[in-house]
Each structure stands twice: as C-alpha cells, then as structure tokens.
Chains A and B, each alone.
Chain A
C-alpha cells in the first residue's frame, strides 16, 4: 500500500511549492477533479509538480485525493495544481454536486397541475 511510515516527515511541505501558499487561480476546491491533459511535461518542472502529474497519469483525482497520495497538505496541492492548470498540463473540473432528492410536495403539485391541464 502507499500508506507508509509514521514518524516525522523529512521534507517539509513548503519545499514542494517553494514556500508559495497562494494558488495562482482561486477556484480549486478540495473536491475539484484534476486530470492530466496528456501533454508532455516540459523539462525543468519542479519535482512536486512532476509528482502530481505522475499521480494524475493513472486517471482523475480530486485535489483531496491527490493530497493524500502525495502526502502533502491540500493547500500545497492547490498551488501545484494551479500551476499545472496554468501551463495547461492539467485540467480541472468543478466538483460534482451531490444529487438531491426532489421535494415530494413539489412533485405532487406538478402532477396535480398536469392532471388539471389534462382535464381542461
């Protein structure tokens, strides 16, 4: 499994983004779905961005999942992902909202209205 050692991480999180914590685009949320755009990574990409690209190579991941996989805080992954989206190496999709049940009252009223129309 990827779950690994406990203990104190040797490499602190700020190193992954070079100390930057403000993402270049604000709309990335915890559940934003990231997927690789399939473009070849240019040379000289920072190691952490490469690692994120690698993680996305296998399919889409939410920001949260990518953070867990890379063992980085979500905030750092947002910075990394924003940088990759800027270079159009990664595509970001807004989180899929959870489906909601329709209000039964509303459905009933719609049905009543339809029946009323039919009888007219």
Chain B
C-alpha cells in the first residue's frame, strides 16, 4: 500500500511535468500564434497595398493608357504613358497590362481598316455614278458648243464646260483614292495633250505656263494617258494653291534618261515641313490609304497620286524646293509608258503648246495643202516643201496636213506671189475708180455746169491719181 503515495507522487510529478511541458508548449504556441498573427496582419496590409496599387494601375490603364493608345492610331504624336507605378515595369503584371494595350491596338486598327474599306466602297460607288453623269453632261455641252456659235451662248457653254471639268476632277480623284479605276479609257495621246488636259481641269488654268521641250510626237501609251492627266492636274492644283494668285506656275516637259519628265514649279511660299512630310508619305503610295487619315475636309490629291504612281509605275517627287521659291514637283514617266505618234497624221490639240525643240516648228515652208485662191503651181511647191500628194490606198489623192519641214539647204524658190491686198485697200481703189469715172463724166457733160455730186476720193488713192485729183478740182470749180 506504500506504493500508493508513490504512485500519487509519481503521478503528480508526471502531471506537473506534463503540465510544465504543456505550459511551455502552450506558451510557445501562443508566442508563435502571436508571431503568425503579426505576419498575417503584415501580409494583409501588404495585400491591401498591392490590391490598391493594382486597382490604381488598372484605373490608370483605363483612364489614361487605353485612350492614349487608341488615339495614337490616328495621331502618331500622342505618347502612351507608362505604368503609374514604376515597380510594375517589367513585372509580370506590367507585361500583362502591356499585352492588353497591344491587343487593343491591333483590334482597333483592324476595325478601322474594315470600317474604312466599307466607307471607301460606298464612296467608290457614289463617285462612279457621279463621274458617269458628268461625262454625259460633258458630251451634251460639247455638242452644244459645236452646234451654236452665238457668242453669249458660247460664253455660258465654256463656263459650264469648265465647271464640269472641275467637278469631274473632284469626283475622279475621290474615286481613285477609294481604289477605283480612273474611269475613262483613252487612246494613245501626245504627252503634251495629257498635260494640257490636266491644266484645263483647274480653276486657275490661266496661271499655268506650259513649255514643251519634247520631241514632236512624244506620246503616252493608252492606259497611262488619264493617270498622267490626273497626276498633272493634282500637282498643278497644289502649286496653284500654294502660290500667290498673281504668280505663274511653270510646267516644263523634257526628255530624261529612259523617259520623260513633267516638272511643275511654283513661286509660292512652299509647303510647311508637316505638309511636305504628308505629301511625301502620300505620294510614295506605300502605306495603305485610309479616308480617316486624309483630314477634314479630306486632302485627296496626294493620296490619289500615290495610288496612281503605284498602279502605273510612275514616279512623283515633291521633296525638292523650286528655284522660283515654292515647290518643285516632278513627274517621271518611264519609257515603257511612252510611245510615238506621227504628229503629221495625228497632230496634238490646237491648244497644246508646240515643241520648242529643233528648227521644225518655225521654219515651216508655206506650202499649200488645201489651197484655193493661191495661183502657184502646187506641185512645184510641194516638191520644194518635200511632200507630195500621196496616193491613198484607194487610189485617190490624199490631202495631207502641213508638214513641219526643216528649211531646205538651198534657198527655196522665191515666192512669186502678189502682195496681198487688204479688203480696205481694195475698197478704196474701187471707190476711187468709181468716183473718178463719175467726175470725168460730169466734166465732159457740162463744162461749166454745176455738178450735183462731189465725189470723194479716198486719201489712199489721192497720192496715186494726181491727174484725177486735178480734174476733180476743176470740176468742183
């Protein structure tokens, strides 16, 4: 039974021991828990901080960065701000946010292209219709011009035709910018005609001076005629727009290595750097054209040039300043777009400036090809001039238009042509004859009798016919 207290003591001891152990464990765990609680609190604080930062960053993304990125597509100068908190730069979150922006950009630009393409298609359809209608109007106006020659009516018809040409140019350029075909098939034509035709489409065509230094007969292949006319019209329009209304715009047509060049110089202030860059970018034609890029009101000229240069392999440069002070625009036409037309068979339009090249133009020998009223032996002159009546395929003689011939080496047969008499001179001579006859008759009828009428002798004849004059004086006496 002595074992019982021992047991009790042992148990107590054990109990105390275990209590101690437990107590220590408890203490330790309590301390640990406190530590953990602190850690949790700290973590929670940090989490709150991070959450707030994240929210602020997303807020910043939504409020600043996304709109800026969207605006940057249309306005290249807009800078997209970076993350609001620098610790995100390069972090996974920062990269993720950057990806958000990137996909937004690509989606937006895809949308933009789609919408623009739809707008272009709509505009293409509309301008095509307008263009066709304006061509019909042009036909009607030109028929009227041919039919009626009353000056007042003609003045109106000319004005309407000019207005129509300008509208036509606008519609055509809009169509070309929207990716349409130029809308008119032409035949092979003289290059100078295409340039003059382009000139006629502008309101200020009076101010354009065209100097043609090309060889006579330099022509464009058929599919290049209308594009060249459009490009020249747009370059001239730009030149006229950027120069004072009292200055001329000078156009020079020249041959260059492997082709021909149309140079347009204006004496204006030149373009600003922005305009110049815009023009260069547009004219290059390498970027796809969006209507929304062209401004409001849209500046279509250079965009149209860009489309055409790319389609037809033409070269346009607007980057150099002109020696006249303004802009020098150069259109280069490679030789594969050039051809030749016999200028005799198919002379250029009457209004197209003639070539300054060679001695061909001014030293034309006066050879009658359609002569009546000239008494010379036609064949002799024709031989001298170097062109004969060429028998046609049908055996009939063919009338040919005047030939530009260079002066023959030997002096030509001197013209045995009576000096032309002016109608006024002829009238004066006949009048003098009549009055002289009348005076003589009157004098012979009654010597001293008063003559009822005093014939007036025109002064032109007075010098020649002194006798008559004297007689006249006698009769009057």
Contact = CB atoms under 8 A, between A and B. Distances in A.
B399 to A, nearest CB: 7
Contacts of A31: none
A8 B186 contact: yes
B435 to A, nearest CB: 22
11 contacts: A1-B399, A7-B186, A11-B351, A14-B158, A15-B200, A17-B158, A19-B158, A47-B351, A51-B354, A57-B366, A58-B367
B104 to A, nearest CB: 50
Interface in B370-422: 370-374, 398-399, 401-402, 420, 422
A73 interface: yes
A11 B369 contact: no
B369 A58 contact: yes
Interface string A42-76: 00001110111011011111000100011111111
The 8 closest A-B pairs by CB, nearest first: A59-B371, A10-B197, A21-B154, A21-B155, A51-B350, A14-B158, A11-B349, A75-B154
A36 B368 CA distance: 12
Contacts of B146: 73-74
Nearest to B346: A4
A22 B155 contact: yes
A7 B226 CA distance: 13
Given A22-B155, A35-B420, A58-B369, A13 B345 contact: no
Contact of A58 (B142, B345, B368): B368
Interface of A: 1-2, 4-5, 7-23, 30, 33, 35-38, 46-48, 50-52, 54-55, 57-61, 65, 69-76, 78, 91-94
Contact of B345 (A4, A17, A36, A69): A4
Interface stretch (B61-69, B116-124, B159-167): B159-167
Contacts of A1: 345, 398-399
Nearest to A63: B149
Contacts of B422: 91
Given A8-B184, A15-B351, A58 B402 contact: yes
A12 B277 CA distance: 34
Nearest to B415: A38
A57 to B, nearest CB: 5
B353 A59 contact: no
B423 A93 contact: yes
B193 interface: yes
A91 B434 CA distance: 24
Nearest to A17: B158
Contact of A10 (B142, B155, B158, B186): B186
Contact of B197 (A7, A11, A30): A11
Interface in B189-217: 189, 193-194, 196-197, 199-200, 205-206
B267 interface: no
A57 B402 contact: yes
Nearest to A93: B423
B200 A14 contact: yes
B145 interface: yes
Contact of B158 (A5, A8, A21): A21
A17 B162 CA distance: 13
B352 interface: yes
A98 to B, nearest CB: 16
B87 to A, nearest CB: 69
B349 A9 contact: yes
Interface string B143-180: 00110111110110111011001000000000000000
Contact of B196 (A4, A11, A54, A92): A11
Contacts of B150: 75
Contact of B142 (A13, A23, A38): A13
B260 interface: no
A22 B151 contact: yes
Given A7-B187, A13-B158, A57-B366, 8 more contacts: A2-B347, A14-B200, A15-B196, A15-B200, A47-B352, A58-B371, A73-B154, A74-B146
Given A7-B187, A8-B184, A73-B149, A60 B346 contact: no
A33 B161 CA distance: 29
B354 A50 contact: yes
Contacts of B371: 58-60
A10 B189 contact: yes
Contacts of A48: 350-351
A78 B148 CA distance: 12
